[in-house]
Chain A
């Protein structure tokens, strides 16, 4: 039995997840996403991360970025190293891809603000 706090939405439901013979039994969730979250936490925890990428523009030395979808929790620092190695050298718009398919995870790193 594991106690978890769902981080999918601001409700932050207190979950109980139990490994049974019929799979993982989840209680305390107010919506189906809570069950999904608990199962994922017990099998392959996923997270999103956000950071900044350096630019060559003095008036905006760094640009905000995030991953376009969840990545495995244990790869967070690997992805951070890629984000910190990148440099933006052209003007970009919100949503543009900075690093495509980062580390082959099937997820892009995108800018979340205009770079101009």
Chain B
């Protein structure tokens, strides 16, 4: 049986970038994708605005994915589509991956895994809405699939709950296709989508945005006939007496995305309750040696350019990890004494955790591998609150080791920063705390 160096699960933007990077770094790579075509969710994201950072162009989702698919195929990377991973077993020399496809149950052996499984939408079951269960309640991504891939219109008059980006994009899309979007309702006092989407998707089409207001009830037996909305107080509790009934045939939910980590959990990979993705080091290796994470499976990104970047980092790292393993096996390198239990036999990781406080929604990576911080770790973070000015500050053992001022920090807009940590004097016993200090 072939033993792959790197097996990538998921053929969306994260997985494609990871597979390409691993292959370019000399690894024997296999990518598994459950759908018929590569590209992941980008296939249905037909709007433009993708790739501004990476390509300096405003591409549509399919175009952005297409560029990576072209490179993927040009490199001759092995790939199985319509293949669904069912189980992964840890073996002493790597992993045994079981999957099903049209040829039956398949098994693959690999040294490393990259989990590029993306994220899922929070559904109606995960937000409290009373009433009947008629047809006409869709997640934004589901409505997007109907319109953009199947050419079917799910709505004539609709209400959108949640101001996440996909909801805003769908408000515009449905309007362009002739539907009436009556309003976007957001339970929080601030919108959760990107500012530019509020402008180009709602303002441009005169679609109202109602903040601190939510949908509390749906009406209808066969098909949705209307919804009830209510204002909420500071604790997001509906305020009695503020009920308003709206006639509509469709309710679209854009109420959040959650990283998909069923496979990671089955491997015992610890997840970060803040990101809901695996706890990772600066190479995006999870706390399980040889298992990497990237893209929206690691944390929900707002720009695909960063999904590709994290895929690339994970792909390069997985290839290097597999190569180190092969070198040990070939006897050309002696395994480090302190890591004999480490099947890969490369020098064990020297991890220190990065502690954050309430000023940050989350920080990725959650820890650094001091043995491998060479070319400057990339950090992604989100501020807990909107700040006109905030200073990203790193304290090492109580001393300020680094500061950078950011303007216009907003929870929906992720920030990125690449840092050379070599000068911070870090050891495994260092106490590293990171927070956003208000003001400049």
Contact = CB atoms under 8 A, between A and B. Distances in A.
A113 B52 CA distance: 18
Contacts of A62: 148-151
Contacts of B413: 10, 12
- Among A49, A52, A61, A114, chain B packs the most CB atoms within 10 A around the CB of A52
A64 B150 CA distance: 11
By size class, the interface of chain B is 20 to 34
A25 interface: no
A98 B101 CA distance: 36
Nearest to B67: A94
B33 to A, nearest CB: 16
B195 interface: yes
A40 B43 CA distance: 32
Interface string B59-99: 11111001000000000000000000000000000000000
Contacts of A54: 151
Given A14-B408, A62-B151, A80-B176, A48 B58 contact: yes
Interface string B195-210: 1101110001000000
B60 A66 contact: yes
B151 A5 contact: no
B320 interface: no
B195 A112 contact: no
A49 B176 contact: yes
A112 B148 contact: no
A103 interface: no
Contacts of B147: 52
A4 B114 CA distance: 42
A46 B156 CA distance: 27
A50 B175 CA distance: 12
Interface in B32-58: 43, 46-48, 52-53, 58
B195 A12 contact: yes
Nearest to B152: A61
B403 to A, nearest CB: 20
A42 interface: no
B200 A7 contact: yes
A57 B1 CA distance: 39
Contacts of B129: none
A19 B379 CA distance: 41
A64 B199 contact: no
A105 interface: no
A5 B52 CA distance: 17
A94 B198 CA distance: 29
Contacts of B173: 51
Contacts of B151: 52, 54, 61-62
A61 B173 CA distance: 17
A7 B199 contact: yes
Given A52-B46, A62-B148, A12 B59 contact: no
B46 A112 contact: yes
B303 A66 contact: no
B347 interface: no
A47 B227 CA distance: 33
B194 interface: yes
A103 B58 CA distance: 22
A99 to B, nearest CB: 16
B48 A48 contact: yes
B155 to A, nearest CB: 16
Contacts of A113: 43, 60, 62-63, 66
Interface string B157-174: 000000000000000010
B181 to A, nearest CB: 14
A50 B196 contact: no
Interface of A: 4-7, 9-10, 12, 14, 47-52, 54, 61-62, 64-66, 73, 76-77, 80, 84, 94-95, 112-114
Interface of B: 43, 46-48, 52-53, 58-63, 66, 147-151, 173, 176-177, 194-196, 198-200, 204, 302-303, 408, 413
29 contacts: A5-B195, A5-B196, A5-B199, A10-B302, A10-B413, A12-B194, A12-B195, A12-B199, A12-B408, A12-B413, A48-B48, A50-B47, A51-B173, A51-B177, A54-B151, A64-B46, A64-B60, A64-B62, A64-B148, A65-B46, A94-B63, A94-B66, A112-B59, A112-B61, A112-B63, A112-B66, A113-B63, A113-B66, A114-B66
